[in-house]
Structure 1
Amino acid sequence: MNEILHIYHTNDIHSHFENWPKIRHFLERKQAQHARQNEEMLLFDLGDHVDRWHPYTEGTMGKANVRLLNQLGYLAATIGNNEGITMPHEALDTLYEEAQFDVILANLFDENGKRPQWAVPRKLYTTKSGVKIGVTGVTAGFYKLYRLLGWQLSNPLEELGKQMNILKKEADILIVLSHLGIHEDRLIAKLYPEVDLVLGGHTHHVLAKGELDGRTLLAAAGKYGYYIGHVKLEIDPAAKKIVYQSARALPTGNFQEPPGEAAEIEHYYFEGKKLLNQKLVYLPEKLESDWFKENRLTGLLCDAVMEWCDADCAFLNAGLVLDSLEHGPVTKFDLHRILPHPINPCLIELTGEKLQEVLLSTLDPKWPHLELKGLGFRGKIMGRFIYRNIGFNHALRKIEVGGRPLEPDRIYRLGTIDMYTFGDFFPHIREAKIHYFMPEFLRDVMEWKLLQEYGQ
């Protein structure tokens, strides 16, 4: 009799705990169902489960996410860039201390070139019938950012080759846990046709019924817990070969609502709020935010970025500041509420000629109402740009920095945010010399500035 293997997978949850009760309820029922039918079930997460936009994740530095994975009996996980480059080195190094699942990650090393003790490059699992399942995992190559946090990454596709050379000698079925994105997953299928299954994430793609590339099945389940992936394999235990396979992305919106769903979602939020309820300063006045006008609060943030980066000038978009700060005590939760983004300050070195082109492009009327998702931004719209040490003479189309006309050949130090270096905002910024300040987020820099202005 053939063996039935059910593989469920999640990816890019990004701490969207509003979908977690449905996911938990569904998977618990499937675990019971497959046990009754004497069918095996494996459960994997493909990274970016952690996202510090949610107060529960922020307050526990991701360890709440690990506890949630433990509760559901995940077999293994790999990491995404949100675990890897939005957390300080020590926080990632201790994130999985309580993990009851394997962290499979082949291409991450410490500064000395050693794999962290909490990760393994590959793992061999054996089914009830004796079929050996070889699993390896890789994460996306944000090499420079990992280096700034005290880690090294090897090329994920090259590292896969090393792991495949070992696993194909030991395993009957080969699975890759990939946080590389759809294009690289397809490349895996071409480079390593011996791989049976790639479970993918990172680019938030949905493969509703999987995708067969050669003999390799690709599966992916979108983002935020809107889907759960399910792969069904029928295996001939004598030949130790897959004789049937299918993949689906199951919409969680169709799942049954579990009892107490709303209370559970609220619990995650208020637990995070309690953990972040640490008073920082007392404001003698309300600091208003406004996405379309110059205002004191966003101006303070822009000042903070310029000073933190030791820059000649600075700009950022007002839509970063999601809400006002009320008169009275300000806590870490308040700063997290108004600046939830995993966005770092950065310093850009540009000639005056290129800086002028960038600054003139910020005046484009498309920006203030532009809706934006991703690249670390956890707000709604861009809002207008706010400037420090920058003046515009619109009649002459001339720009001043520090009260003096821009000099075309001079190198200027622009303080701004890393988001502009990743997206298609300003080509000159992407091409410039960039210094990222890590692991500090904008809310950390704002805290530093508020303590300067209002601390006692």
Structure 2
Amino acid sequence: MTETTDLLSSFSPSVSDTTSNHIPTTLEPKKQVTKDQSAKLVILSVNDVYDLVPNDHGHGGIAEFATLLEQHKATVPQDVTLLVTLNGDFLSGSEIAERFKGEHIIELMNHLNIDYVVLGNHEFDFGTDELKARMRNSSAKWFGSNVLDSTSGALFEGVVDTEIVDLKDGLKLGVFGVCTEETPTLSFPGNSVKFENIFSTSRRCVDALKAKGADFILALTHLSITQDKRLARQVPGIDLVLGGHDHDPFTMYEGNTFIHKSGQNALWLAKLEFELKRSAKYPERGLVVLPQWSMIANAYLPPQPACQQILYKYMRQMENENDPGKNDCVLATLATSLSTELYADVGFINGGFIRGDKEYSAKSNITVGILKHEMPFPRPAVLVRIQASDLRDALIQHLCKYPQQSGSHPHVSGLRLTIDTHSDPPAITKMVDVNGRPVDMKTELLVATSKFVASGGDGCTSWLKGDILREAAKVHEVVADFMMKKRLLAYPEHEGRITIFE
């Protein structure tokens, strides 16, 4: 933390262009200096980039983001330290990512001259070997101070632990980064990597950076906002948290720590400016930090030609996708097709598997390309044999964060569920089949789902009590096969598969 004469306990601006000043404080010993120190730092930041083309409203797009980034880099004077950060989740989560295992985004990142990234859970979606290969080809520095080799205990190969950045007049910026400990349940890092406690790791890093003379400490994080706020409270010495993982923008103070997240899909560019001052005449004032920040919308901008050329180079290899049929359903009903194709009693998918964030009206043409876009994760479909009581327990685990938005939220076919949210966790008070008959909890059911779910993903460990009987093709391929056979699908607008009492 830094020293101050005034304090704003909390500030949560809107996500439009916003500026504010805040002078935080600390009780740490004051540094003695022989002359006044003054430096300026500008950080341009983005996080959780999956979609690389503008949405239907003209927002987003990586080539358009390149234009925006270039514009704002040009406004930074040469004597000001400039950093560009990408705060996790960019290698995976899209059709193009699945095809090229993140090679495309590395070339785009290098073109954008990203300085620092922090590992996010989706960086491990293709396994550690693919991740290491992408890191070797990247010009950015990758942080993951709590990501270790499980055998040697050393830092994960290619990862930076801490970094000192020399600012003007002898002032120093310290940087470290941490990734969510939930990564093993959110992705597939395998057994060769482990994720240390984010709080103890952060304390170690802050101490190390202070020992190296850091005046101002930046934590790059890929954590939930709840964890970021806990980090600010429990680890004194962190001045700035730039995060990811949440897909909504956040700007706030937690105590004396400034926290910012930039949403997702490069819909905004965050511009954070800090003026740091220390007086030789008045050392008791300590380091005074004057911040201001803005969120600049990436909307209706022309694409940067060079960046667009890189993107199109990869997209051209993915053209000429076939049209497998027409569909007017919400794509979460893919659970129906999974159960049909795998001859299961029940189909299940977690809401976080559907990534397009888009509704499809009646008579929409659903192509293979759309399926890959909506279901980008390279997870095979599996057939699981599980006792009904264990399935019920798994469904309750999937509901544990309700009513908060969560990627674990369940979508089912073959069952009708009634859920009471007045209890904690929510309770399933009624579980019947499609004919309205109560399900015997001792019955064994065949469930079609993704391997991620069957492996206890999202922390829903009751699935592990079942047995995987069969592993099929990737989920989007199974759905495409189903749609090719049907050609035309019709679903009621509201099927009532899950009824929730609040």
Give the TM-score of the pair, scaled to structure 2. 0.65
Match of 2:244 in 1: 201
Q: 1:174 aligns with which of 217, 220, 239?
A: 217
C-alpha root-mean-square deviation of aligned residues, in Å? 4.6
Alignment partner, residue 426 of structure 2: none
1:96 shift after superposition: 1.5
Whether the aligned pair in 1 keeps the contact of 2:144 and 2:177 (CA below 8 Å) is yes
2:419 counterpart residue number: none
Cα deviation per residue 1:225-244 (whole Å; 9 max; x = unaligned)?
22222221111266696423
- Measure the CA separation in 1 of the matches of 2:277 and 2:472: 49
Q: Equivalent residue for 2:372?
A: 336
Q: In 2, are the aligned partners of 1:287 and 1:324 still within 8 Å (CA)?
A: yes
2:120 is the alignment partner of 1:80 = yes
Q: 1:375 aligns with which of 372, 383, 407?
A: 407
Q: CA deviation at 1:419?
A: 6.3
User: C-alpha separation between the residues in 1 aligned to 2:246 and 2:278?
Assistant: 35
Paired position in structure 2 for 1:40: 81
Q: CA deviation at 1:392?
A: 4.3
1:243 aligns with 2:274: no
Aligned partner of 1:415 among 432, 438, 448: 448
Q: Which whole-Å CA distance do the structure 2 matches of 1:286 and 1:69 have between them?
A: 34
Would you say the 8 A contact 2:345–2:414 is kept in 1? no
| 8 Å Cα contact 2:41-2:274 kept in structure 1 | yes
How far 1:343 moved relative to its partner? 5.5
What is the CA-CA distance between 1:52 and the residue it aligns to?
3.2
Q: Which has the higher helix share?
A: 1
Pair 1:187–1:393, CA change in 2 (3 A): closer
Residue number in structure 2 paired with 1:134: 174
Which stretches in structure 2 are left out of the alignment for 5+ residues? Answer: 1-36, 55-59, 396-403, 416-431, 484-502
Correspondence for 2:139 among 100, 115, 126: 100
1:337 Cα deviation from its structure 2 partner: 5.1
Q: 1:67 aligns with which of 102, 107, 110?
A: 107
Tell me the amino acid that sits aligned with residue 186 of structure 1.
Answer: K
Tell me by how many angstroms 1:106 deviates.
0.9
Provide the secondary structure at the position in 1 that maps to 2:276: strand
Instruction: Provide the secondary structure at the position in 2 that maps to 1:65.
Output: helix
Deviations 1:134-170 (A, max 9, x none): 1110111225335663432112222212212211211
Percent identity over the alignment is 18
Post-superposition CA distance 1:314-349 (Å, at most 9, x none)? 4146996988788xxx8xx68635743565646766
Displacement after TM superposition at 1:10 (Å): 0.9
Distance 1:82 1:97 in 2: 17
Q: CA deviation at 1:373?
A: 8.3
When residues 58 and 355 of structure 1 are mapped into structure 2, their CA distance, relative to the original with a 3 A threshold, is: closer
Q: Distance in 1 between matches of 2:464 and 2:171?
A: 51
Q: Is the alpha carbon distance of 1:318 and 1:358 closer, same or farther for their aligned partners in structure 2, counting shifts above 3 Å?
A: closer
User: What is the deviation of 1:72?
Assistant: 2.3
Map residues 91-240 of structure 1 onto 2, 5 A cutoff.
91-112=130-151, 113-145=153-185, 149-150=190-191, 151-170=193-212, 171-207=214-250, 210-236=251-277
> What is the distance in 2 between the residues matched to 1:74 and 1:139?
18
Mapping 1:240-389, distance limit 5 Å: 242-253=287-298, 257-258=301-302, 260=303, 270-276=312-318, 289=327, 291=329, 301-302=338-339, 306=342, 313-316=345-348, 336=372, 339-341=375-377, 345=381, 350-353=386-389, 355=391, 375=407, 385=413
Higher relative contact order (CA 8 A, sep 6+): 2
Q: Partners in 2 of 1:76 and 1:339 — Cα distance?
A: 29
Q: Which runs of 5+ in 1 are unaligned?
A: 360-371, 400-405, 451-456
Q: Is the 8 A contact 1:3 1:129 kept in 2?
A: yes
CA contact (8 A) 2:339 2:345 kept: no
How far off its partner does 1:216 sit? 1.5
Pair 1:264–1:340, CA change in 2 (3 A): farther
CA distance in 1, matches of 2:277, 2:350: 59
Checking the alignment, whether the CA contact within 8 Å between 2:91 and 2:105 is kept in structure 1 is: yes
User: Offset at 1:197?
Assistant: 0.8
- Cα distance in 2 between the residues matched to 1:143 and 1:357: 22
1:200 Cα shift? 1.6
Residues 411 and 238 of structure 1: is their aligned pair in 2 closer, same or farther, counting only changes over 3 Å? farther
Distance 2:164 2:383 in 1: 45
TM-score normalised to structure 1 length: 0.70
Aligned to 1:33, the other structure's residue is in SS state coil
**Given the superposition, is the C-alpha separation of residues 264 and 430 from structure 1 closer, same or farther in structure 2, using an over 3 Å criterion?**
farther
**Is the deviation greater in 19-28 or in 179-188?**
19-28
Are the equivalent residues in 2 in contact too, given 1:346–1:435 (CA < 8 A)?
no
Alignment-derived partner of residue 44 in structure 2: 8
Secondary structure of the corresponding residue to residue 74 of structure 2: helix
Using the TM superposition, give the Cα deviation of residue 77 of structure 1 relative to its aligned residue in structure 2, in angstroms.
Answer: 0.6
Q: Partners of 2:265 and 2:370 in 1: how far apart?
A: 24
Change (3 A) 1:444 1:267: farther
